[in-house]
Amino acid sequence: MHGHRSIPVLAVITALALSGCAAQVRITYIPEGGTYTAEDLSRALDESDPGPVSRVEAEDVAASRQETLADLRTHGEDASRLADVLTSDFPSDTTAVPYAVELATFEGEPAWIVFEAWGDPGEPLSHRRVWVFSRVDQSVLAADSTL
Q: According to the model, what pLDDT value does residue 89 have?
A: 81
The set of residues, in sequence order, having a beta carbon less than 8 Å from that of 125 and lying 6+ positions away, is 50, 53, 54, 56, 61, 95, 96, 97, 117, 118, 119
Q: In terms of DSSP H, where are the helices of 22-146?
A: 38-47, 61-73, 77-88
Q: According to the model, what pLDDT value does residue 21 have?
A: 38
Q: According to the model, what pLDDT value does residue 14 have?
A: 34
Domain ranges of the chain: 25-145
Query: Which SS3 state, helix, strand or coil, does residue 127 take?
Result: strand
CA 63 to each of CA 47, 57, 94: distance values in angstroms, whole numbers, following the listed order: 26, 10, 11
Residue % of the chain over a pLDDT of 70 = 83
Per-residue pLDDT reduced to its tens digit, 88-112: 887 767 899 999 999 999 999 999 9
Per-residue pLDDT reduced to its tens digit, 7-48: 443 333 333 333 333 357 889 999 998 999 999 999 999 999
